[in-house]
Structure 1
């Protein structure tokens, strides 16, 4: 992350965030019901302080594994002329894999 910032690369972060009332419940949260507790103000939904977004970095709120499905991330990257991605995360077999695929 530090290198990306030093190079001036666009940086986007993702958070899993569900509606407070569970209105956006989906197959992901049906399989893992605890996900519905990841609402906007829930501590476990927040980005860890060590990776906190810097001013101007994009935060994608999503409720499925992929950072691209149903989010504005692809358009945000296109607008900035991004052609190559460096993808990292805490759950390689889940959200990282899903976003890359």
Structure 2
């Protein structure tokens, strides 16, 4: 019987590469993931550090940067079934400290902020229209968590017609198993999973 890894390599080994006009998306880097007393706490400092380096490079190259945040009205009444199912989303009710951007991630005047209530950065937001109007053909994803909002955004990015890349170094999760499994699956079917170094070189080469 054929080895599973070999089977995947043959069936899903295609690599698309980067396009000509990228945008960088930082997904849900909120304080909730960095506060040890919070139910959502995760060991994701390295992912944030990588994302911040990428943001600095994007700014230097005049590449658009999008920051997403999750925000709910009191009681989560605009959160629908997602808020009903995932109880830790209470950390993102407007006014909670845990809903704020992580330390070190201060939105700049040039950054686009997208507020969302569901996993994907595209679902129920203007992100796709905004990127299309800017002539963007490539979406570079970073963020938290790999198995949740990064994956959902990846699938929707591809579905909206964008070349999609996920930066391994700049994504994180609360457990290594779902992190690695979802990187594997996204790379197989929806996007190229790339390194920070590859992405920095790309940004440098295609400054807008």
2:108 corresponds to: 54
Instruction: Specify the SS of the correspondent of 2:74.
Output: coil
Instruction: Specify the SS of the correspondent of 2:58.
Output: helix
> How many equivalent residue pairs?
101
Of stretches 43-52 and 1-10 in structure 1, the one that deviates more from structure 2 is 43-52
2:40 corresponds to: none
2:93 corresponds to: 39
1:93 corresponds to: 147
Instruction: Specify the SS of the correspondent of 2:67.
Output: strand
1:68 corresponds to: 122
User: Tell me, which stretches of 5 or more residues in structure 2 are unaligned?
Assistant: 1-54, 156-208
Instruction: Specify the SS of the correspondent of 1:88.
Output: strand
Q: How does 1:6-17 map to 2 (within 5 A)?
A: 6-17=60-71
Q: Rg: which structure is higher?
A: 2
- Give the alignment's Cα RMSD to 1 decimal: 1.3
Instruction: Specify the SS of the correspondent of 1:52.
Output: coil
**Distance in 1, Cα, partners of 2:65 & 2:121:** 13
Structure 1 residue 67: deviation in Å? 0.3
More strand per residue: 1 or 2? Answer: 2
User: Tell me, which stretches of 5 or more residues in structure 1 are unaligned?
Assistant: none
TM-score, normalised to structure 1's length?
0.90
2:136 corresponds to: 82
TM-score, normalised to structure 2's length?
0.46
Stretches of 4+ moved more than 2 A in 1?
Answer: none
